[in-house]
Amino acid sequence: MSIKLTFPDNSVKEYDDGVTVEAVAKAISTSLAKKAVAGKFNGAFVGLQDSLTADGAIEIITKDSEDGLNVLRQTAAFVLAAAIKDLHPEVRLGEGQADEDGFFYDTDRDDGQLTIDQLPAIEAKMAAIVKEAPTIEKASLTKAEAKQLFANDPYKLELIDAIEGDTVEGFKLGDFFDFEEAVLLPSLKDLKHFKLLSVAGAYWQGKSSNPMLQRIYATAYYKEADLEADAKRREEAKERDHRVIGRDQDLFFVDPNVGAGLPYWMPNGATIRRVIERYIIDKELADGYEHVYTPVLMNLSAYKTSGHWEHYREDMFPPMDMGDGEMLELRPMNCPSHIQIYKHHIRSYRELPLRIAELGMMHRYEKSGALSGLQRVREMTLNDGHTFVALDQVQEEFKKILRLIMAVYEDFNISDYSFRLSYRDPKNTEKYFDDEEMWTRSQSMLKAAMDDLGLDYYEAEGEAAFYGPKLDIQTKTALGNDETMSTIQLDFMLPERFGLTYVGADGQEHRPVMIHRGIVGTMERFIAYLTEIYKGAFPTWLAPTQVVIVPVNLDAHMAYAKQLKEEMLKKGFRVELDSRNEKMNYKIRDSQTRKIPFTIVVGEEELNAATVSVRKFGQSKAEEMPANMFMDSVQAEINNFSRDGKHKRGEGSQLAD
């Protein structure tokens, strides 16, 4: 009896019923069999030794694929659990999992959690297990047997209860047994290059109401060179981590004891944020926006009308009952608030496009396990804006918004970005506003606008907002990851739901189109992005402190230093005078460590000649120059956004009309 297997190239071959995945690989080529680590049968992972007993689609998973790396890491997680139990039998095991960053395993014990100091011993035990080269075998237990085996582990017992049927399928390594749905390597000969990295708290199954376990993070590769490259990447990530830089430079802090996901901005961080906010507001005012302030609380009925309550409820905080029938909601979005601004007056076609902008504070119901520094928070301030236009103004307004975004990008020296048109998923329409005509019209308008601009873009189904398609501008982070920085969204739905109108030239009421746009996203995420891009060495125009003055002798040169400080303060510079009773070289090193753009030293020679000795951050040599020339150069850096002199404030890249 035979079965028919269909390969990725659509070729079909016959094999004996019960053929293993490994045998299929060998039949194709010896080289493929050597690289094979697993298979996929009808889309589901299968092991090399698994038998195939029906017709279906087959794919051989090799070491050089993402799926192959996932199999290696899942195997490493299994071995990690075995090593932990061998060294620490009292430890209770949660779940182990492979991901794009490596793998992890959750642990728990009564007499103190495992610490980072214990990782080398656990790693050594893993290496010893691998050196013995045992075979990992598939095994199955009845639920009763599994419960007896894990009688003292409430986490495993909970997982067992969630399994359907009476059998628990898993793997055995010597006396160690663990159950999981993943596919593992049949032997450990390829598990040679792994590294245990860190430990951190993690709620059981990601729920803050559950116990906090200790998660051990690790990674693994088939090649030593890949592991070494990963170590370098992680070191670079550590040096750029905005949470570390934020702590070292005293930019912000988050204290879970007073509110997880609620950052406190220290003076240095507040300065950076204030400069950006002033810049954005000035830029938008010059582009015809009217800036407003609106409350962070709104009647729940508004979010029911907008559809946020229906489509976004799980990301919203619970409503607050005011006791008189009024239900108030912390806003997750600013658009209903700006709609109220529009509705407050009767609008004429002569007012359109009507551009409303706000640095609007919003709140999202984020789980504790998802929170991360400034990148994922519960309170955020969005650089938000909404334009209300007539139908025939959509394309020109879209172009105008995109010009503004790209001009801002140029001022911040953001050049590595791409355009993504985000559409509704036609196969999963229930999570979107139900209006086929609206979606067809708005998606075609967005595409036509991009084609008219002559910009390259790619299309992504399933990435649209529930109320309309959007253009997402994807930037590269400091570590090369994609992140949505800016969005422009077309919306025919909310004007309809809120009954928005304007009086046209014909004296009749017409429905406007609403365009949602965010230039740099939230202040929190944008500053995290900039912190990591700049590695904490902020350009002069953004730096919390732009100049540090170091007098050589506190008695002899302090008066001149104070005079310079006063002159710079009058020019609007952010300047410090280091009057500590420390050695001069210590103060210079400290300024460099803090990544201050300019450190100037003033001594007897500088006092007599009205000069300063200037050391720019990152440079080892100082330059002597007249004090007024130095101040002019700092002013030029501020005016030109710390770029060369070719750029003037207010100028930016322009798209062709």
How far apart are the C-alpha atoms of 206 and 213, rounded to whole Å?
10
8 Å CB contact between 173 and 136: yes
Q: Estimate to the nearest angstrom the gap between the alpha carbon of 450 and the chain centroid.
A: 26
* Contact between residue 21 and residue 49 where contact means Cβ atoms under 8 Å apart: yes
**Angle at which helices 523-534 and 224-240 pack, to 10 degrees?**
120
Per the listing, tokens 């496009």 go with 353
Report the chain's C-alpha Rg in angstroms.
30
Q: Residue 524 and residue 514: Cα distance in Å, rounded? A: 26
Q: b/e for 34-66, b at 16 or more Cβ within 10 A?
A: ebbbbbbbeeebbbbebebeeeeebbbbbbeee
**With contact defined as beta carbons under 8 Å apart, do 60 and 10 qualify?**
no
SS3 category, 137 = strand
CA–CA distance, 223 with 159 (Å, rounded to integer): 34
Q: Is 363 annotated as a binding residue?
A: no
Q: Determine whether the annotation assigns residue 516 to a binding site.
A: yes
Cβ-contact 226, 247 below 8 angstroms: no
**What's the rounded Cα separation, in Å, for the pair 492 and 390?**
11
Residues 387, 515 contacting (CB under 8 angstroms): yes
338 among annotated binding-site residues: no
Residues whose CB falls within 8 Å of the CB of residue 129, separated by 6 or more in sequence, listed in order: 79, 82, 83, 86, 173, 188
Query: Across-strand partners of 135?
Result: 187
For helices 267-286 and 523-534, angle between their N-to-C axes, nearest 10 degrees = 110
The answer to whether the bond into 263 is cis (omega within 30° of 0) is no
Cite the annotated binding site by residue number: 335, 386, 516
Cite the annotated binding site for Zn(2+) by residue number: 335, 386, 516
